[in-house]
């Protein structure tokens, strides 16, 4: 029987692993040493949830439960070995990044709801959990963060977080809502990359 806690734990574990992979794939294009590679992988995997837990004053998830740290290290090293055996396309890291965005947005929103946060705060926590690991990864790799590069990113996460909050009010089971919200983020993000969907860009001065 799949409980909500088990589902969230599994999603977060997979999220940590795909984000660690995205970190190694992006860092691999720079000449980082082994330590730098591990730092980028861990920052991508654990950054978003860490900021959420500090803001909510929860025990930081990877300190309470060491398995996230180990999973991120294993995924990072595994990706590193794979990348040395097989030639991987440079933009491949966008795939684990999109998957990590979807997983962490669901996990982060869920954690904030369980903590009793009001809905607007909960949806913002979902976005922060989803995007912050990728921001730290990109800053460490000296790349402009994906979230600021124009194609739908944080907006996709926010719509997914709202989906997760609204669906249970309409009678949908929380587990189904979580899966549907994750699929929404992933689909929106992949379509935004494919068809170059942008948020309107404004300037206060013409």
> Contact between 36 and its own copies (CB under 8 A)?
yes
Q: Does 196 bind its own copies (CB under 8 A)?
A: no
Q: Are the beta carbons of 160 and 102 closer than 8 angstroms?
A: yes
Question: Considering only residues 37-56, where is the footprint of its own copies by CB under 8 A?
Answer: 37, 39, 50, 54-56
- CB 197 to its own copies: min, Å: 12
Q: What region, left, alpha or beta, does residue 129 occupy, with left being phi > 0 and alpha being psi -120 to 50 degrees?
A: alpha
Q: CA-to-CA distance for 165 and 103, rounded, in angstroms?
A: 15
Residues 102-131 within binding reach of its own copies (CB under 8 A) = 117-118, 120-121, 124
**Rounded Cα distance, 55 and 112, in Å:** 10
**34 sits near its own copies (criterion: CB under 8 A):** yes
Binding part of the chain for its own copies, among 6-14, 31-39, 165-173, 182-190 by CB under 8 A, reads 31-39
CA distance 31 to 87: 16
As measured in angstroms, the least distance from the Cβ of 140 to its own copies is 9
For its own copies, give the closer residue by CB, 131 or 178: 131
Burial class (CB in 10 A: 0-12, 13-18, 19+), 204: exposed
Least Å distance between CB 34 and its own copies? 5
Tokens of 3: 């409980």
Query: Is residue 186 close enough to count as binding its own copies by CB under 8 A?
Result: no
Conformation bin of residue 33: beta by default, left when phi > 0, alpha when psi is -120 to 50 = beta
Pairwise CA distance, residues 91 & 47, whole Å? 22
Helix axes 119-140, 4-27, angle to 10 degrees: 30
Give the residue, chosen from 43, 44, 45, 154, that forms a contact with its own copies under the rule CB under 8 A: 154
Of 1, 35, 171, 194, which one interacts with its own copies (CB under 8 A)?
A: 35
Q: Read off the tokens for 22.
A: 């995205």
The answer to whether residue 142 forms part of the interface with its own copies (CB under 8 A) is no
| Binding status of residue 84 toward its own copies by CB under 8 A | yes
* Residues near its own copies (CB under 8 A): 24-25, 27-29, 31-37, 39, 50, 54-57, 59-60, 62-63, 66, 69-70, 80, 83-84, 87-88, 117-118, 120-121, 124, 147-148, 150, 154-155, 198-205
């Amino acid at each position: 029987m799949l409980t909500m806690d088990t589902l969230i734990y599994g999603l977060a574990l997979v999220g940590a692993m795909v984000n660690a992979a995205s970190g190694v794939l992006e860092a691999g294009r720079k000449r980082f040493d082994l330590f730098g590679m591990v730092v980028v992988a861990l920052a991508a995997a654990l950054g978003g949830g860490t900021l959420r837990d500090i803001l909510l004053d929860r025990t930081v998830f990877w300190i309470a439960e060491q398995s996230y740290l180990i999973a991120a290290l294993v995924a990072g090293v595994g990706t590193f070995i794979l990348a040395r055996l097989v030639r991987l396309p440079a933009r491949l890291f966008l795939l684990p990044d999109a998957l990590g965005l979807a997983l962490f947005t669901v996990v982060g929103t869920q954690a904030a709801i369980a903590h009793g946060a009001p809905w607007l705060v909960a949806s913002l926590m979902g976005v922060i959990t989803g995007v912050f690991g990728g921001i730290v990864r990109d800053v460490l790799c000296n790349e402009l963060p994906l979230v600021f590069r124009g194609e739908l990113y944080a907006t996709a996460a926010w719509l997914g977080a709202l989906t997760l909050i609204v669906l249970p009010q309409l009678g949908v089971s929380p587990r189904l809502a979580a899966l549907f919200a994750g699929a929404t983020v992933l689909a929106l993000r992949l379509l935004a990359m494919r068809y170059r969907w942008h948020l309107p860009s404004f300037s206060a001065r013409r």
